[in-house]
Amino acid sequence: MARGATVGGSRGMLPWVGLALILLIADQLTKILILGAFRLGDSTYVTSFFNVVRVHNTGAAFSFLAAASGWQRWFFTAIGVAAALFILWMLRSHPGQKLFSFALACILGGAVGNVVDRLMHGYVVDFLQFHWSNRWYFPAFNVADAAITIGAGALILDEVLRVRRSR
């Protein structure tokens, strides 16, 4: 089926919106647990390379613009809302493209999860942290960030497979 073809119009996109909703709920539930059990900066080592830590990120990925004066909250919220609307339009247009729609659903669930945080708290709650020998720490992230990353990877894979099919 061609990228532009649809299966069932709006009805065909419902499973993908459902996946995004499941990811959103998982993201928000885990953040509620962290907010209830940890104070800002608290950390619990789970393994020699992984810990759970409560971090508040007022910026974007890797704390980009976190030190800005506060305008970034609304800027990143607007980007998240615009991305969500665009993704919903894309899902409606391409629900039969399974890998493509899976990728979009993951990104949608993650984007909305982080927008909810920005609107409710003014920051994104991050809590998953990997490290090496307690010296190198990967920036903390959350379920929404993981969903966005998986979605981005699936988008890349979808494009690689599409290019190979067109040869």
> Is the distance from CB of 140 to CB of 131 less than 8 angstroms?
no
Let me know if 126 is a catalytic residue: yes
- The sign of the dihedral angle between the CA atoms of 140, 146, 149, 150 is positive
Cα distance between residue 157 and residue 37, in whole Å: 38
**Could you tell me the two tokens for 132?**
């090496």
Residue 28 CA from chain centroid, whole number: 11
Which residue in 27, 42, 117, 145 is the catalytic one?
145
**For residue 91, which of 32, 9, 165, 35 has the smallest C-alpha distance?**
9
Q: Are 51 and 43 in contact (CB under 8 A)?
A: yes
Find the catalytic residue in 27, 117, 126, 158: 126
- Is 27 part of the annotated catalytic residue set? no
Residues with catalytic annotation? 126, 145
